[in-house]
Amino acid sequence: MDIVLNPYDRKTIEAADYMRRRVGGKLIALSMGPHPKIIPIMNDLFEAEVSGIDEAYILSDKRMAGSDTWATSYTLSKGIVKILSIHREAIEALAKAIEAGEGFDRIEALAADLYRKNLLPNRIYSDKPSVRETIVNMLLEGRISRENAVEILRDEASRIYRDFMMFCGMKTSDGETGNVGPQVAEALSQELGMEIPHVSFVLDFEYIGDRRVIIARRKLINMIQTVETDIPAVLTIHADYSAPPVPLAGRRDYLLNSYRGKNRDSRIFSADDIKADPRYIGLAGSPTVVGPGVDIGRPYARKIVGLSIIAARDIDKIAYGDKVFGPFRRGDLLDSLPEDLKRQMLSRGEAKVFDYDDLAEEIIKALQS
């Protein structure tokens, strides 16, 4: 079966894009599965709703296969921690170079390299002519000391774990549990040692910048709730989500918080890359056990005595033109087959007209079951 974008995730991209246009930052897509099949989907997301994603990460490892919602949530949380640590380490590397007394040319070259890799926001370093008040520029121009620059950068590094939001689809169209979003928040809370709140089935939300909180409206069956939560947080986006207009105020902060642009090469992580415990991923880490199947019978079929055509015996498959029909069990209704094929089957004794004997046989079988 081909892997396709979960339809519920389209609203997720819309919600995350609104948050990015509201406060800046960048939009990162994270998925788990076989990377050869997911990379084409990620490539399409760079041109998705409004501005599309900025970066893509894929957790791909045979050991992750067969994960239930618990193992999936654990694995995704480890991937999120890995992504956050990459960005924090980039800022820390720049702070260490300044603290170690590296020359200004070397510091600027390091900052430019990290910026091109999309790892530093404009407020730390930027090649945009409109952004001059960066930490690196102020250091190079002597407006702040090395000690001040290191202190500011260390605070920026710590903000990586405080200033992020996660957006998840409401559920998967093939799973319908709606568990992964909230479970990622719970798993991530354990990984980071801090509480990551979550709000599910979000219809719309607003960011209150001066208080750094999210006010979300969510739909629970026929009830609408308004919920306030601190950030970081996980929002599971309802299929009926609608993004509000982006206010004009705060455009300067948006620009300073933003990054250089898009990295279109999906980055792939294995279980070892994200330091996932093999006991908690894939089938080995999935506590959900699917029990034995129960045969609940076949759908009811309307058969009319003297008119309906049924299979006279068990038939494997029948080729007719460029199509193949079957298999059929004795007594199965054949009314939907092409008329010419039904006539051929009647002539060969493979089909017959439903009669009272057939009706009596079905009634006896029903009583015996």
**DSSP character string of 46-110:** TT-STT--SEEEEE--GGGTT--HHHHHHHHHHHHHHHHHHHHHHHHHHHHHHHTT--HHHHHHH
Angle (nearest 5°) at CA 183 between 118 and 11: 60
State residue 10's pLDDT score: 87
Q: Which of 160, 240, 239, 236 is nearest to 198 (CA)?
A: 236
Domain regions of the chain by residue span: 9-285, 309-368
pTM for this prediction: 0.77
pLDDT of residue 7: 85
Q: DSSP per residue over 138-154, as a string? A: HHHTTSS-HHHHHHHHH
pLDDT for 290 equals 67
The rounded distance, in Å, linking the Cα atoms of 185 and 47 is 28
pLDDT value for 1: 60
DSSP state of 5: -
Q: What is the pLDDT of residue 254?
A: 86
Going from the C-alpha of 351 to that of each of 310, 339, 342, the distances in angstroms are: 6, 12, 7
- Structure tokens belonging to residue 324: 């193949």
Place of tokens 């079957």: 326
- pLDDT per residue rounded down to tens, the chain (369 residues): 678 888 888 889 999 999 999 999 999 999 999 999 999 999 999 988 778 999 999 999 999 998 889 999 999 999 999 999 999 999 999 999 999 999 999 999 999 999 999 999 999 999 988 888 999 999 999 999 999 999 999 999 999 999 999 999 988 877 778 889 999 999 999 999 999 999 999 999 999 988 999 999 999 888 999 999 999 999 999 999 988 888 877 788 889 999 999 999 999 999 999 999 999 999 888 888 766 666 656 666 778 888 999 999 999 888 888 888 989 999 999 988 999 999 999 999 999 999 989 988 888 887 776
At position 148, the amino acid (one-letter code) is N
Residue 322: per-residue pLDDT = 84
| Residue 307 token pair | 């008119």
Give the Cβ contact number of residue 54 at 10 Å: 21
At 54 the pLDDT is 95
Half-sphere exposure of residue 300: CA atoms within 13 angstroms, side-chain side: 3
Best CA proximity match to 164, nearest among 280, 85, 260:
85
- The answer to whether 30 and 268 are in contact (CB under 8 A) is no
Q: Residue 235: beta bridge partners?
A: 167, 199
DSSP SS3 for 228: strand
Helical spans, DSSP H, in the chain: 9-23, 35-45, 69-99, 104-116, 135-140, 146-159, 180-192, 251-257, 339-347, 356-368
Tell me the CA end-to-end span of the chain in Å, nearest whole number: 36
Chain CA centroid to CA 226, Å: 24
Q: What is the pLDDT of residue 281?
A: 93
3-state secondary structure of 166: strand
**Exposed/middle/buried for residue 363 (C-beta within 10 Å: 0-12, 13-18, 19+):** exposed
The residue behind tokens 């939001």 is: 165
CATH domain 9-285 topology: Rossmann fold (3.40.50)
pLDDT at 304: 87
